[in-house]
Amino acid sequence: MGYLTSKEIRKKLKDCSASTLWRYQQPNQKMFEQPMPQPIKKCAGSSSLWDESTFNEWLLKYFNNNQFSNLSS
């Protein structure tokens, strides 16, 4: 099982800000069909860790395919 840091996640999400990363994780966000998974270990700064396979699955299913689709409706 691999892990990704906040910094690596932000890079994969087109260099988004830390606040945007936080918004993507909120259950009430409306940009994606499902919110971004929460980190498996929360730490200060860029050292929070996400499960790589879980994040990559969300990235392919929701971020890459549905990015901003709900904003136009």
Q: Say if residues 42 and 5 touch (Cβ distance below 8 Å).
A: no
Our count of domains for the chain comes to 1
- Specify whether the backbone of 12 is left (phi greater than 0), alpha (psi in -120 to 50) or beta: alpha
Range of the domain at 32: 3-72
* Cβ neighbours of residue 60 closer than 8 Å, sequence gap 6 or more: none
Q: What per-residue confidence (pLDDT) applies to 48?
A: 87
- Is the pTM higher than 0.95? no
Q: Could you list the pLDDT tens digit for every one of the 73 residues in the chain?
A: 699 999 999 999 989 998 999 999 999 998 899 999 999 988 776 678 999 999 999 999 999 876 554 444 4
